[in-house]
Structure 1
Amino acid sequence: MRVRKLTFTALALAAGLSLTACNGDDSAAQSSGTSASSASSAGSGSAEGSGQDSAGKSATGQGTATGTGSDTDAAAGNCSTDALEVTATDATIGGDTEGTVAVTFKNGGGQDCTLSGYAGVDLKTNAGDLSAERTGQDSDPVTLADGESVSFGITYPVNDSGGSGVRITGLVVTPPNETKSVTLDWPGAASLPVTDGSGATVKVGPMGSAGQGGAS
């Protein structure tokens, strides 16, 4: 009887040891799985964050490139008085019944600009200012690159009366669509004939009219 009891005791002890070993293996496996899952999640998060940073930088670069060329096709604006070099020369041809002065606008503003229509012209005289009348000729807008020029003509009656007439002391020119004027020396004949208003008047032609027979 004693031998049987010892055998039962040994069997019970072996069963307990086996159960303990199985539980230990399961715990180790669970612990190993948890660690692997955590490592996988950490690696995945790092990769996603890197991709977002790269995409963000790429989008920013594209926006900068697009903005850089946004003004390349801007249209040429009106030529301002300050951007123009204004000169006047005597352009009268021998035998003409009227005198002619050519006024030239040279673009010195560093970029393209446009002139269209008529400039304002006033003669300063010892009898007061005299405004030139427009000839009424049609003209197309003229776009000047930096350094380019365009001229227009001023025609006036020649004083052949033998008298002193009306003495011209200066020329005031205002570019088209501008309010700022430029005062120049008058390069033409010294005087206009005295008139009661029924004779010839001072006239101004549009842009490009000088050299094409003057402003008539």
Structure 2
Amino acid sequence: MRLHKLTLAALAVVAGLSLTACQNGDDGTGQSAPPSPAGSASTNGGSGSSGSGQDGGSASAGSDQGGGTGGTGKGSAGKGTGSGTGSNGSAQVARCHTDALEITAKENTISGDPDGTVVVQLKNRGGSACTISGYAGVDLKTASGTVSAKRTGQQATRSVLKSGQSIAFGITYPLNKTGGSGVRITGLLVTPPNETKTVALAWPGGASLPVTDGSGTPVKVGPVGSAGQGG
């Protein structure tokens, strides 16, 4: 009987220990809840992520702004190029046109020369500078028809005429020393270089040309600038 009581007592002790162990286990689980700061850490982690995202956004915005600045730089460079192109275009000078030229002719034969000389002057009466180069077209109107002048073959140079400036070329023709009436000259036709519009002038030179066999024109013309340049 005593043995049975001892056994029951031992079982009671074991049961008490088991109950205590269970209560300690419950307390451990309850204590594990405070690591909710770990949850806070997780929340902080989320904020960190958001901050990282914000940092990333800021970096992205900075990159975009940097790109924008770069774009502005390129735009400025483009403007500079356009400005340069505009300056080059404005530096070009247009050709002298017939309508912008005042054309006159005068006798300029020097005593003792075998041939007569007429100087034709072209004055820029336009409001801006113009360029002129080459040979003018020259025709003498005669009682027997038109006589076209032949080029001398001299090198032509390019000249810029400011408003009011002049340039000239010479026409040489044979003097009629035959004693006869020769071929009477009735007028002068001048077409500026690279132009198609002709100006009719009075002929200021000798009244006639000697009669030729028709093998070639005796009248010659030099390039613009070959007879000097006036102011």
TM-score by length of 1: 0.74
**Cα RMSD after superposing both structures:** 3.7
Q: Which runs of 5+ in 1 are unaligned?
A: none
Shift of 1:161: 6.6
Larger radius of gyration: 2
Percent identity over the alignment is 33
Shift of 1:182: 1.8
Counterpart amino acid of residue 48 in structure 1 = S
Give the structure 1 partner of residue 29 of structure 2.
16
Task: Indicate conservation of the 8 Å contact 1:122/1:131, yes or no.
Answer: yes
Distance in 1, matches of 2:178 and 2:162, equals 45
Cα–Cα, structure 1 residues 200 and 179, in superposed 2: closer, same or farther, change >3 Å?
A: closer
Shift of 1:83: 7.0
Give the structure 1 partner of residue 136 of structure 2.
119
**SS of equivalent to 1:169:** strand
Aligned residue-pair number: 208
Distance in 2, matches of 1:96 and 1:109, equals 41
Task: Indicate conservation of the 8 Å contact 2:98/2:197, yes or no.
Answer: no
Distance in 2, matches of 1:81 and 1:188, equals 24
2:44 counterpart of 1:32: yes
2:218 counterpart of 1:184: no
In the TM superposition, 1:48-127 aligns within 5 A as 48-70=63-85, 72=87, 79-82=95-98, 84-93=100-109, 95=111, 98-107=115-124, 108=126, 110-116=128-134, 118-127=135-144
Cα–Cα, structure 1 residues 140 and 179, in superposed 2: closer, same or farther, change >3 Å?
A: closer
Cα–Cα, structure 1 residues 196 and 12, in superposed 2: closer, same or farther, change >3 Å?
A: closer
Task: Indicate conservation of the 8 Å contact 1:102/1:154, yes or no.
Answer: yes
Q: Which runs of 5+ in 2 are unaligned?
A: 1-12
* 1:202 aligned to which of 219, 222, 225: 219
Shift of 1:76: 6.1
Task: Indicate conservation of the 8 Å contact 1:161/1:193, yes or no.
Answer: no
Counterpart amino acid of residue 43 in structure 1 = S
2:56 counterpart of 1:41: yes
Cα–Cα, structure 1 residues 140 and 82, in superposed 2: closer, same or farther, change >3 Å?
A: closer
Distance in 2, matches of 1:100 and 1:15, equals 130
Cα–Cα, structure 1 residues 62 and 109, in superposed 2: closer, same or farther, change >3 Å?
A: same
Distance in 1, matches of 2:112 and 2:197, equals 29
Distance in 2, matches of 1:193 and 1:206, equals 22
Distance in 1, matches of 2:204 and 2:213, equals 21
